[in-house]
Amino acid sequence: MGQKWKLYEVQDGKVKRKNKFCPRCGPGVFMAEHKDRWSCGRCGYTEWKRK
């Protein structure tokens, strides 16, 4: 599981997280962004995006 640096960016000297955290697993477990949903690879939690 490399490339975690892609999940963060620095703005005005502060670190900003790009993706959401999983509400079930808690902070530190990012959710993957897909075209139509957000999903957690650890527990399988899914949030559907609304159009």
Q: How many CB atoms lie within 10 A of CB 21?
A: 14
Dmax over CA atoms of the chain, in Å, equals 34
Task: Specify binding-site residues.
Answer: 22, 25, 40, 43
Task: Specify binding-site residues for Zn(2+).
Answer: 22, 25, 40, 43
Give the CA count within 13 Å in the CB-facing half-sphere of 42. Answer: 12
